[in-house]
Amino acid sequence: MTRISPRYLLQFDEPAGYLDFARFGPPSHAVLDTTARLLEDATVAGPSTVDELMRQETRAKAAAARLCGSDTDHTVLLPHTSLGLFQAAFNSPGGEVLVSAAEFPANTYPWARAEQAGLVKVRRLEGGPVTADRLAAALTPEITTVSVSAVDFRTGYRADLAALREVTGDRLLVVDGIQGFGVTEAPWEVADVLVVGGQKWLRAGWGTGFAVLSDRALERMDPILSGWTGARDPGLFDNEIHPADATAAGWSISNLSPITSGAFAAALELVEEAGVGAIAGRIAERVGSLEDVLRSCGAEIVSATERRAGILAFTLPGHPAEQVGAALASAGIAATVRPEHVRLSPHASTPVAAADQLRTALETLTRPRKPLSVVPPAASGSATPELLSALVPAVDGLAAMLGPGNEVLLHDLSRLPDSIVAIAGDLTGRTVGGPMTDLLLGLVRRGTTQDLTNYRTHGPDGRAIRSSTLFLRDAAGVAVGCLCVNSELPGAAQSETPQETFPPDVDSLQRFLVTRAIGKAGIPVELMKKRHKAAVVRELDEAGFFLIKDAVDHLAGQLDVTRYTIYNYLNEIRG
């Protein structure tokens, strides 16, 4: 186990399940205390208070420069990475710039806007990580600048900056270091422009960041985006426009908050004290532990496994990312959920217990719940597909035996919600690949997998139907499917308010469930408070709505909230 300063670890109090540092890093006590102290100083300001506060900028610049192997003349503080990249784009010497198409938008928009302004021409490097070989193949004499991320935000791939520098040659190399600085050992000095935000792995809070410029960058880049604090003699108010300062200070636009600068300095000094190598080593151990858990639960790792930093992305076959994210949130695990995968990102302060917490959360998906007795195929044994496959031919025969006015269906519960694998008859107008009814979905979600026989319901056109549902179980007694028989009741009265709906497709089921839940809340969405929206989420959770792919995104749009708000509601409800 990597040794790391106990004082460093005692600075943090985030929950064990917080695994989302690639999105935001909860600040340390040092950052909190520094912010409070400086704010307190500001509230009782005296003659020298402002000057003393402004010295926090120099303190933060000095700490950033030390960690980069540079000095304060080549360092400038910034409020965020985006501004630094915009300045790199608008201050660039022109020509063509090569940017990976797979970059985080903060890296692509600045160059696109600079191209709109006629300052550069953008060439996109398509597909895959930015390696020295791919870069060498894409370079042309017209390219003057290469812009890359030190760590890819999706895959965690850690670029070989030294190799990229060698291939780039005398061109400018712009590096976004936000996903790696302070937690990976890298030759940051090879970058001509290194831009880093402090709100993620540096754990300094929002509004913090810096850029370090090489001599080559200072020589070739014209600081167009430069304000009065970036000018020579910024304190000389002589009604003249002064030229930009020749140092990195020329990239300054205005004074930043000295309170934020002090907090940033405290965060950087913590990294110095603990040592980047120790932090990186501890993160690598945590990533390894989480990876072991994921693989043991049947997950597929879709992030880099060789040159990687602290990002671990995965998919769980048979379960959409939104469903996995909901299970993690319910277990108190913070993660980034994207349509294509779930991303985990631990830090040095992440405890060993986080791996066990992750295993417990995933087992709610990969093992049968109690009392819910439904499992995916991987956990239910090889007999499951054989059992259902053997019954598929019987569906047509059973329907033929029952005669007209009858319908027979076979559901595979591992395919929820579009679970129909065989159907004969058209009483409810559904087809193979269609979903189960809202009634059956709710029963499965709540774990009520007892057989239902001869209950009355009504079809999509209001006709009275007598239905029976028999749950099919494997050798272990786990429900893996169900056989349903629907029979028309001639002469029975039709119903205008069916107690069960037979949606033709998953989208229809999704819309029906949301409309019903909102209707039960009894208040228009635009007038809903948190308690009303939480009630809608509770109703839908009990109905099995979140077993539907993209359900979280759909509901977030209907309730006019973010997907993370939905996850928070689920966490509160299931907790």
- Could you count the other beta carbons within 10 Å of the beta carbon of residue 279? 25
Find the mean pLDDT for residues 378-389. Answer: 55
> What is the average pLDDT score of the chain?
90
Find the mean pLDDT for residues 514-542. Answer: 91
Q: Is the model's pLDDT at 385 over the cut of 70? A: no
pLDDT band of 388, cuts 50, 70, 90 = confident
**Can you give the pLDDT at residue 493?**
64
- Residue 348 CA, chain-centre distance (Å), reads 20
Considering the chain, what percentage of its residues have pLDDT values greater than 90? Answer: 65
Of the candidates 286, 282, 290, 287, the residue with the CA atom closest to the CA atom of residue 359: 290
pLDDT band of 424, cuts 50, 70, 90 = very high
**Can you give the pLDDT at residue 374?**
36
**Which is higher by pLDDT, 55 or 418?**
55
**HSE, side-chain direction, 13 A CA sphere, residue 368:** 21
Long-range contacts of the stretch 72-75 (C-beta < 8 A, 24+)? 73/247, 73/248, 73/249, 74/212, 74/213, 74/214, 74/215, 74/218, 74/247, 74/248, 75/210, 75/211, 75/212, 75/213, 75/248
For residues 18 and 346, what is the distance between their CA atoms, to the nearest angstrom? 7
For residues 297 and 290, what is the distance between their CA atoms, to the nearest angstrom? 11
pLDDT tens digits, residue range 252-286? Answer: 999 999 999 999 999 999 999 999 999 999 999 99
pLDDT tens digits, residue range 541-555? Answer: 888 888 887 888 889
* Token pair 């002090």: residue: 262
**Which is higher by pLDDT, 370 or 146?**
146
pLDDT tens digits, residue range 176-229? Answer: 999 999 999 999 999 999 999 999 999 999 999 999 999 999 999 999 999 999
Distances, alpha carbon 354 to alpha carbons 313, 412, 414, in Å: 16, 34, 28
Q: Are 438 and 501 in contact (CB under 8 A)?
A: yes
- Residue 403 CA, chain-centre distance (Å), reads 52
**Can you give the pLDDT at residue 498?**
52
Q: Is the model's pLDDT at 380 over the cut of 60? A: no
**Can you give the pLDDT at residue 277?**
95
DSSP alpha helix (H) spans, 69-140: 81-90, 105-116, 132-138
DSSP alpha helix (H) spans, 403-482: 438-446
pLDDT tens digits, residue range 131-179? Answer: 999 999 999 999 999 999 999 998 899 999 999 999 999 999 999 999 9
pLDDT band of 301, cuts 50, 70, 90 = very high
Q: Is the model's pLDDT at 381 over the cut of 50? A: no
**Can you give the pLDDT at residue 384?**
45
DSSP 280-346: HHHHHHHHHHHHHHHHHTT-EE-S-SSSB-S-EEEEBTTB-HHHHHHHHHHTT-B-EE-SS-EEEB-
For residues 394 and 336, what is the distance between their CA atoms, to the nearest angstrom? 45
Strand 452-458 to 336-337 pairing: unpaired
Two structure tokens written together for 381: 């044994």
pLDDT band of 451, cuts 50, 70, 90 = confident
Two structure tokens written together for 304: 């880099």
- Residue 171 CA, chain-centre distance (Å), reads 34
Could you write out the three-class secondary structure of 261-295?
HHHHHHHHHHHHHHCHHHHHHHHHHHHHHHHHHHH
Helices (H) then strands (E): counts for the chain = 19, 16
* Token pair 């790199």: residue: 88
Distances, alpha carbon 457 to alpha carbons 249, 326, 428, 510, in Å: 75, 32, 11, 20
pLDDT band of 122, cuts 50, 70, 90 = very high
**Can you give the pLDDT at residue 169?**
96
Of the candidates 230, 474, 523, 487, the residue with the CA atom closest to the CA atom of residue 376: 474
**Which is higher by pLDDT, 3 or 202?**
202
Q: Are 148 and 176 in contact (CB under 8 A)?
A: yes
* Token pair 């109090």: residue: 13
Sequence-separated (6 or more) residues with CB below 8 Å from residue 321: 315, 337, 338, 339, 340, 341, 342
Q: Is the model's pLDDT at 378 over the cut of 70? A: no
* Token pair 């949301």: residue: 514
For residues 18 and 52, what is the distance between their CA atoms, to the nearest angstrom? 36
**Can you give the pLDDT at residue 371?**
37
Find the mean pLDDT for residues 303-331. Answer: 91
Q: Is the model's pLDDT at 107 over the cut of 50? A: yes
